[in-house]
Amino acid sequence: MGVELRHLRYFVAVAEEGGFSRAARRLHIVQPTLSMQIRDLEDEIGGPLFERGARRTTLTPAGRALLGEARQVLAQAERAQESARLAVQGKTGRVRIGVAGAAVLGGLVTSRIRAFCAQRPQVRIDLCERGPGEQRDAILAGELDVGCSALPAPSDEQRLTSVLAGSVSFLAALPLGHALAEHDVLTASQIAGHEMIEYGVSDPQDRSFDPLRRFVRSNWPASARYRADSTLSVLALVAAGVGLAVVPAGVHLAAVPDVTYRPLDEPDLSVDFHLLHRIEEPDPAVAAFLAA
């Protein structure tokens, strides 16, 4: 038969109540059933666990040896059950997220993570910077759960889907003390006559800066003398005073010495970002993150 959790639960109840009748009431079962279960446990162990007196039931040496262990087993079983319950509810586990840099700088991912962690503080978040193509491959390989980039799921992709996460706008980044810093808001015509630092393309599938590149080409038809392939590299050139740049909104929250920022009066200069994920998501924590 073997010892089951109910045997230990019944045994602990009798030991703590000091009698079968009180233990039966506590367990909401009839006393004959409780007595039978204790006899089965004693048969399995090979000896009596209780001295059954007229007024009180006490533990035998075997019963005393079992009591502490039984309590630990029951407590561990309760913890295991609670752990599984939390996992099913998506309140524990891990969410692995791949992001393109502009999504982080624009606050799309950080705001979602903040709200999610406030509701589910026991879920672990792993965040890594990946290009759109890398995100897709990693999700399909089971190395990532969610991707965030300007590249939505391909229309012919049957395993992945995407939802709009939000839009990121852009700011003008100026060297500290630049003449344009006198203005509260800048327009394309105001910055068109100044040296512009251009974003390079490190990932051909990364469309995060496509609107920005079109904006730059339309206002600066000549090739830029200065080019960088990341926002921090662009800002380093701005800080060096060699030109100005248009960067994702939110980057101003990262204090870069010798750089100041101004809003752009260009409402069409923005980029949509999408959350890429598996169509059938088996992990409750990941599903909860996507629903946050």
Q: Give the domain 168-271 fold.
A: D-Maltodextrin-Binding Protein; domain 2 (3.40.190)
With a cut of 70, say whether residue 287 has pLDDT above it. yes
Q: What is the mean pLDDT of the chain?
A: 89
Domain ranges across the chain: 5-88, 93-165+272-291, 168-271
The candidate with the shortest Cα–Cα distance to 268, out of 187, 220, 211, is 211
Averaged pLDDT, 268-285: 90
CATH fold of 5-88 reads Arc Repressor Mutant, subunit A (1.10.10)
Pair of tokens at residue 190: 């105001």
* 103-130 tens-digit pLDDT: 776 678 888 899 999 999 999 999 998 8
With pLDDT > 90 as the criterion, what percentage of the chain qualifies?
60
CA distance 247 to 150: 15
d(CA 261, CA 220): 20
Q: Which fold has domain 93-165+272-291?
A: D-Maltodextrin-Binding Protein; domain 2 (3.40.190)
Taking the alpha carbons at both ends of the chain, their separation in whole angstroms is: 47
Task: Out of 65-69, 105-109, 230-234, 261-265, give the one with best mean pLDDT.
Answer: 65-69
Q: Residue 24's pLDDT band (boundaries 50, 70, 90)?
A: very high
- The model's pLDDT over 74-100, given as tens digits with 9 standing for 90+, comes to 999 999 999 999 999 999 999 999 998
Q: What distance in Å separates the CA atoms of residue 64 and residue 50, rounded to the nearest whole number?
A: 9
Question: Do the domains 168-271 and 93-165+272-291 match in fold?
Answer: yes
